[in-house]
Structure 1
Amino acid sequence: MNWHVPDNLSFEDALQLSEIFLEGMESNSLKETEIQEIITILISSENGARGFFVTYLTSDKSLADTPTEEVINALKTSPEIVSELLVKNLAMSSAMAITHRRNNDEEMAQGSDRVCQRTTQLIQQVDLGLITEKLQQLQETIVTGAGKYTPFLERWGYDEEQKTVIKHQVEMNLN
C-alpha cells in the first residue's frame, strides 16, 4: 500500500486516513516498519495526530488495548504534539465518562473509560518527560484554578466533580 499524507492534512482527512490505517493493521496487511512510518508521518502535524488519536483510542478494535513497539516508537517521534494530546485525552475521557453517566448512557461512559485506560497505557509506555511536565501543569491548574490549562478546562466547562476525577487520573499517571 502506498501511503501519502498531504502537508496540509485536515482533521477530517486525518480521521479517514487513520481509519484506513487501522484496518490495514487489523488485517495484518502492513509491515511493522510501515506501521511505525505511517504513525510517525500522521503525528508529525497536530491535525494528523488528533485524527490518529481519536481513531486509535476510540476504536472498537482491540489494537489499542496492547500497543505494539512500533506504535510506541512512532509516538516518541513527536514528543510535543503527542504529550499535549495524551494529557488532554486523559482529561477529556475521564470527564466525559461522568457526563455520560449523568445522562444514563452507560455504553458511552464505558467507551470513555476505555479511552482513558488506553491513554493511561500510552502515557506509561511512551514515557516522555514532557508528558510528566504537562500532567503536573494540568494538576497545578486544577488545584490553583489558574495556569497553562485554564483555557482548556474553561473551553470544555468542566465542573468540580469532573476536575476532581481529572486530577485523580493525573495523579495516578504521575506515580
Structure 2
Amino acid sequence: MLAVPANISFQQAIELTQALVSRMEQGTLSDAEIAQTIAALVQTVDGARGFFVGYLTDDRSLADHPTEAVISALRTSPEVAADLLVKNLAMSTAVAITHRRNDNLDMAQGSDRVRSRTTALIQKLQLPEIEQKAKQLRAATETGGGEYEDFLNRWKYDAEQRLAIREAIEQVSE
C-alpha cells in the first residue's frame, strides 16, 4: 500500500500516481490496495487532480483499460471525480485542436489519448454527478455563461474549441 498524506499536494499526487501505476503494471499491489490508494487520493481536489494527470497521461497502456478497482475507488468521491473528469474531457479536446493548429501532431495524439481515456472512465463510472456537470459545461459552451463560464474563459477556448467540447460531451452523454 502506498501512503497518501492527508494534505497531499498536486505534485506529490502526480508522483504517487506514477509510482502506483508502476506497481499496478508490475502486479505488486492487490485490487484492494489499488482501490484504497486511489480512494485516498481522490478525497482532496489536489490529490484527485494529481491522480488524473498521472493516470491519464501515462505512456503505458494501463489507463486504456481501467479496472474495477480504479472505478470503485473513483466512485468514493463522486463530486470531485465528476468535476475533474468533465474538465479533463474539455481540456484534452480543446488542447488537441491547439496542438494540431501548431503542427505538433505528437502532442495532439497525447491529448487525444487523454480524451479517449477520460471518455472511457466517464462511461464506466455512470455517475449522476458527471451527467449534471456535463450538462452544465455543455450549456456554458453554448451560452458563454453558467457554472463553467470562468473555466472556459480562463483557458480562452475559442468557438471551434467550444464546439468540439460540446461534441465530446454529447458523445459521452449518448
TM-score bracket, normalised by the shorter chain, equals: over 0.9
In the other structure, the counterpart of 2:9 is: 10
Structure 2 residues without counterparts, runs of 5 or longer: none
Residue 146 of structure 2 aligns to a residue whose secondary structure is coil
In the other structure, the counterpart of 1:172 is: 171
Given that residues 2 and 20 in structure 2 are in contact (C-alpha distance below 8 angstroms), is that contact kept between their aligned partners in structure 1?
A: no
Structure 1 residues without counterparts, runs of 5 or longer: none
Given that residues 78 and 127 in structure 2 are in contact (C-alpha distance below 8 angstroms), is that contact kept between their aligned partners in structure 1?
A: yes
Q: Does 1:118 align with 2:121?
A: no
The 5-angstrom pairing of residues 21-40 of structure 1 reads 21-40=20-39
In the other structure, the counterpart of 1:152 is: 151
In the other structure, the counterpart of 2:56 is: 57
Distance 1:94 1:44 in 2: 26
In the other structure, the counterpart of 2:100 is: 101
* 1:3-50 residue CA offsets vs partner (Å, 9 max, x unmatched): 221111111111111111111001111111101111100111111100
Q: Match of 2:23, as an amino acid?
A: G
Distance 1:114 1:86 in 2: 14
1:122 is displaced (CA, Å) by: 0.3
Q: Match of 1:57, as an amino acid?
A: L
Residue 19 of structure 1 aligns to a residue whose secondary structure is helix
In the other structure, the counterpart of 2:140 is: 141
Distance 1:32 1:5 in 2: 17
Q: Match of 1:122, as an amino acid?
A: L
Distance 1:142 1:94 in 2: 13
For normalisation by structure 1, the TM-score amounts to: 0.98
Residue 141 of structure 1 aligns to a residue whose secondary structure is helix
Q: Does 1:20 align with 2:24?
A: no
Number of residue pairs aligned between Structure 1 and Structure 2: 174
In the other structure, the counterpart of 2:83 is: 84
Distance 1:113 1:5 in 2: 30
